[in-house]
Amino acid sequence: MGFASFPHDLLPPPREWAERFCNVQRWTEMPRGGHFAAMEEPELLAGDILAFFRPLRESSYSRPSGFEMAGRSV
C-alpha cells in the first residue's frame, strides 16, 4: 500500500496505525494540499502514484522489443 499524507486533510491516520494494519510500502508527506488532493494538487498526487508503481514496472515486466504504446515506441 502507498499513502500520500496531505497537510490539510481532514483526519489523516497516524503512520503507526497505517503500518500496524496495512503493508505500507510507501509513505509520502506532501508539502501542500488537503482532502481534495486530486483536484488541488493533481501533479503531486500523480507523481507519487507513478513513483509508487515505477519499481514494479521496471523489475517485473519486460516488454518485447518494438513494443508501442499510444503511438510511440517505448
Q: What is the mean pLDDT of the chain?
A: 86
Query: What single-letter DSSP state applies at residue 14?
Result: P
pLDDT at position 59: 75
* Sequence ranges of the domains in the chain: 1-43+51-58
Start-end of H helices in the chain: 15-21, 37-40, 42-60
Confidence tier at 65 by pLDDT (50, 70, 90): low
Confidence tier at 70 by pLDDT (50, 70, 90): low
CA distance from start to end of the chain: 27
- Residues 10-29 have a mean pLDDT of 93
pTM of the model: 0.71
Percent of the chain scoring above 90 in pLDDT: 69
pLDDT at position 25: 94
